[in-house]
Structure 1
Amino acid sequence: MRRALPALVIVFAAGLALFWWITAPGTVPPDKFAGLTGDRTRGEQVFWAAGCASCHAAENASGDDKLKLGGGQRFPSDFGTFRAPNISPDPRVGIGGWSVIELANAMMRGVSPEGAHYYPAFPYTSYANAAPQDVVDLKTFLDTLPPVATPSEAHELSFPFTIRRLLGGWKFLFANKGWVMEGDLTPELMRGRYLVEALGHCGECHTPRNALGGARRDAWLGGAPNPGGQGTIPNITPARLTWSAQDIAYYLETGFTPEFDTAGGHMAPVIENLAKLPAEDRAAIAAYLKAVPPVE
């Protein structure tokens, strides 16, 4: 046993070093953002496409109150309840003091300015494909919004989900996987892919997940249980969503379905956001949804 002890120590130390390396927070290359300047108007379009107000404004906020991003909404899941943080430009409890790179690390890598992992309730696995210019434009727009002095509330999680370092292993398995739809795409399909897979993060809700909470890309947009425990989130691939592209685009603008029903639940604020985008963007989303592989 005494002879085996040094070897066991070496194996343990090597395993610990490998774990520490795999779970280390990764950051974006700063040179990706060098020389970029932000535009408020473009940033507002990114803001609505990314659905920032849907999570970070107060629940049921409307009108100008949707631009007060003090957080606080609760999002239940199998792992606990997550609370949306304050992302207003308040310099003390919001993100007013963040740099563009710090926002990019949060959005695209799920890493805080302090170097801690964020929980993937924040859809950074989708935002990872965001264009650097869009992040810069979004920061410019966010900086013009009203500061909210409400401190962020803590998530309601139990052990071991309180150990953020473990999220590095989750990211190693499930994050930064690139685009789902590959191939020689038209400009319209590329725009639709960008809006659906990146900024719009549609797959975060409409794609089923495995036991560890990773998106099942083999069933992309194939529908999923509602994390809140009531009902399901629908399959929006051509296997179930049989509307025409024109019907889909109209629904994304108005919330009215071809069956004379209206969008409700969490989809209602999504429609409000998408209605603020150019018609070409909604048409691109519709074209993507007609082209994505069907999931039975």
Structure 2
Amino acid sequence: GRAHAAGVRGDGVRVVMVDTGLYDHPHHRAHGYRTSVVPALSALDPAVDERGHGTAMSALLLAVAPAAELTMVKMACETFSFPVAAFQRAVELAPDVISCSWGTLRAEPHLHLEVADAVRRGITVLFAAGNGSTDRRTAMFQSVATPGALTVGGVHVAPDGRRRAADLASSYRSDLFPSRRVPDLSGPCGMLPHGDYVEFPTQPGCMFDRRNSAYDGTAPDDGWLVSSGTSGATAYAAGVVALAVQQGIGKGRALTAADLADACLPVTEGRTLTGDDCGGVCPNEAVGLGLLTTPV
């Protein structure tokens, strides 16, 4: 609220989100958000979001940076996903920020080259640390920790304001890049078992609308779900980065975690799903620099 009141709303900042699509939800229309959708491949229908994840994540990013120009690159349908092609398409659009609230089903070595190229071009790239995933070769789901990208972990803020590392979130030392610790910093995230934390708009009857209705108190076809994780934490952080870009932080280059350090609140309690404890100090291995807030 303080940033928006000061006129820092993401004006003039171009953000690309690589995700499952962006449904034309009444929530987005009511807020007057400036959005568009392009498919990573022509076989993907840009008018639908079969999984519903992208629509939800876009709402959180735009809540933070409502004046940003957001383009969704649709990377998946309900059964297939094309992360490398989608990321390449995102870079072609030459945005200021690329937000990636996902990992990959298997190792995608070419993706690291594409991410490194994006950072070299001055694009700030964010990736979710994961909800239990890592980039260890034995992991079923692979998180993406390319050097130069910002990796985002999770912090839970209780109703009384107490901050602690989310026990749903990942933290780890990269197997591919041994000097790399994940996460660099953190955003808001729910706790086990389901991460119920934020109410999101989504495509009515989509995969996540149906799945989450079993435990989140919403209907399976109402276009709303309650959830959270490092996906939401990353979308939130990408919105904050858009606000930082508007203020000239980074001045045309990819932002680093150090650029955002002063905007991070310390988190000294809690343990992540992958076993790192805050240990009473911050920065730490569980949450990185701490909980990112708006740099105003």
Q: Normalising to structure 1: TM-score of the pair?
A: 0.28
Choose between structure 1 and 2: higher strand proportion: 2
> What TM-score does the superposition give when structure 2 sets the normalisation length?
0.28
Of Structure 1 and Structure 2, the greater helix share is in: 1
